[in-house]
Amino acid sequence: MKLGILAVLSIVLVSGGVAAFLVARIARVSKPKAGLLAASLPQIGEFSFVLAGVSVALGIMGRPTQSLIVTAAILSIALNPLLLWAADRVAGDKSRKGEGAQT
C-alpha cells in the first residue's frame, strides 16, 4: 500500500510539474518563472475525492484504489507549500546570479 501511494503521488507531482514547465517554456516564460509554475500546479484537488467516491458508487473503482487516490491527494496538497518554497529558493538563486533574465 505504501508503495502504491508513493507511486501515485510521484506520478501526479512529476507528470504535472513537467507538463506545466513545458507549456510555460513553449509560451516563452523564463525558466525560473516556469519552475515556480511547475511547482504550484501539480496537485490533486479536492474534487478528486468526489470523483473517486462516485467511481466507487458506480462500481468502476474499488475502495483500495479510492484510498490511494485520496491519500495521494492529501499528500500532494500538504506538500505543495514545500514545493513552492523550494522552487522560489531556486528561482531566487538563479535571478541573483543573472540567469533569471535568460529564456
pLDDT value of position 88: 85
Would you give the end-to-end CA distance of the chain in angstroms?
42
d(CA 91, CA 97): 10
Calculate the alpha carbon distances from 57 to 3, 54, 65, 89 in Å.
25, 5, 13, 43
The answer to whether the beta carbons of residues 69 and 20 sit under 8 Å apart is no
DSSP 3: H
Cell of 11: 506520478
| Domain ranges within the chain, ordered by starting residue | 2-96
pLDDT by position in tens, the chain (length 103): 789 889 988 988 899 899 999 999 999 999 888 988 888 887 787 888 899 999 999 999 999 999 998 898 899 889 989 988 988 888 776 655 655 455 4
